[in-house]
Amino acid sequence: MRKFGLLLTVLCMTAVSGCGDRKEFVPITDVVPDAILEIRYYGTYNFVGERIDGYREPTAMLTREAAAALKAVSDELIAQGYRIKVFDAYRPQRAVDHFVRWAADVPDTLMKAYFYPDLDKSVLFDQEYIMAKSGHTRGSTVDLTLFDMAAERDVDMGGTFDWFGPESHPDFCGNPETGEYTGDNSKSPTGRSITPEQFENRMILRRAMLRHGFLPLESEWWHFTLADEPYKDTYFNYPVRQRD
């Protein structure tokens, strides 16, 4: 638990804002009307199994800069037959604190079968699946997937949002820098794999996001942060809702 204590110490030294600059945040659907929202932390289908603190409405917010960049992503993907589906965007610090409390409660494994079946919950801090700070709280990070307009269903990415494990890494079974599928599933503790089509689907999303100014995360295929995010050092705490 020493890493956990260190993270909390770092958090206490970082600027946290209750509501300042909220006017610079916008609902994603105000800027990207074609976006589909499936706000997992407003409901119960998430790794905790209950609504997360701070999610007052089933909506998604971003800084104006990030929302504008996401609109360019959406326009490109619509031309390819896809819509974007957003699982999470701005996340208040109170929600991150909720995750930390949940992770410390090791016996609570209600959703283990759905999100971390290959891991013991006690390792989530050490392996940094749960941390006391999140880039989402700065307002320019988004978690998303693709929706196939012709098939009228989510695109098969070979794994669910918020799956805790190496199967969620962009380099699982392939090289995200080249887009080459290798089939290398050696990092999976139970021999799980994804197909060439599933890997390519992840790359379609990744390429569009990178082309429009977002940076990927090495551990989550669905997670992207605007490279030129406007609030690099501020962690906001106002609730997720469209208007005050």
- pLDDT digits 0-9 by tens, 94-144: 999 999 999 999 999 999 999 999 999 999 999 999 999 999 999 999 999
Quick one: which of 153, 143, 146, 204 has its CA closest to 174? 204
Which of the following CATH numbers is that of domain 2-12+27-229: 3.30.2320.50, 1.10.3210.10, 3.30.1490.20, 3.30.1380.10? 3.30.1380.10
User: Residue 24: what pLDDT?
Assistant: 87
Q: Rounded mean pLDDT of 226-244? A: 94
User: Residue 18: what pLDDT?
Assistant: 55
Hey, is 40 helix, strand or coil?
coil
Q: Rounded mean pLDDT of 46-72? A: 98
* Confidence band of 23 (pLDDT split at 50, 70, 90): confident
Q: Rounded mean pLDDT of 231-243? A: 95
pLDDT over 50 at 222, yes or no: yes
Q: Rounded mean pLDDT of 163-184? A: 98
Residue 32 sits at φ, ψ, to 5 deg, of -120, 80
Is 162 in contact with 38 (CB distance < 8 Å)?
Answer: no
Q: Rounded mean pLDDT of 35-43? A: 98
Q: Rounded mean pLDDT of 172-198? A: 98
Catalytic residue among 65, 128, 220, 229: 220
User: Residue 218: what pLDDT?
Assistant: 97
* Confidence band of 22 (pLDDT split at 50, 70, 90): confident
* Confidence band of 16 (pLDDT split at 50, 70, 90): low
32 half-sphere exposure, CB direction, 13 A CA radius = 30
Residue percentage of the chain with pLDDT more than 70 = 91
pTM of the predicted structure, to 2 decimals: 0.93
* Confidence band of 155 (pLDDT split at 50, 70, 90): very high
Q: Rounded mean pLDDT of 3-11? A: 40
Is 224 in contact with 188 (CB distance < 8 Å)?
Answer: no
User: Residue 6: what pLDDT?
Assistant: 38
Q: Rounded mean pLDDT of 168-196? A: 98
d(CA 49, CA 67) in angstroms, rounded, equals: 28
Q: Distance between alpha carbon 238 and the CA centroid of its chain, in Å?
A: 19
Annotated catalytic, 229?
Answer: no
Q: What's the mean pLDDT when you consider all of the chain?
A: 93
Hey, is 3 helix, strand or coil?
helix
